[in-house]
Amino acid sequence: MLIRLHEICIKRHDSTSYPTIKGHPYYLSLKKKNKDIYENYIVKSFYQFSKPTGSWYGFIQLYNKIKHEGFHCSLNPIVIERIEDKWVCVSGRHRICILYKIFGPHILLKVINRKIVRLREYDGIYENLLKILM
């Protein structure tokens, strides 16, 4: 199954809402290059805060790694589920926000058994995509 990135929502760890990626604090902090947005949200979850991406520095490190080395779907898959008639990212929220920032909303995601297994080019506008698909 193919899903466009902009169709995916993200489960928030501090509520039961499912905002779009562009409305999630992880993405907003990247878009605005605002450390405070990220840190004010991440501290609300001890689990998230304790991960390597629990600091702004760790999150930016992951962003730079994906931007320069590509995203490898098989190493640590992003998991999505159908919840309340929406596609919701339930695992891999940092990475899906990073993909949205790097590639934009129209990238196509190939999903098998709830896991994103491949990114696909949309309208020929992503030059780095071939590196990721290899």
- Which pLDDT value is given to residue 106? 86
Cα(70)–Cα(84) distance, integer angstroms: 32
CB within 8 A of 125, min separation 6: which ones?
A: 106
- Which pLDDT value is given to residue 49? 60
CA angle, 93 then 95 then 96, to 5°: 65
Ranges in the chain, pLDDT < 50 = 123-127, 130, 133-134
- Which pLDDT value is given to residue 9? 94
- Which pLDDT value is given to residue 32? 97
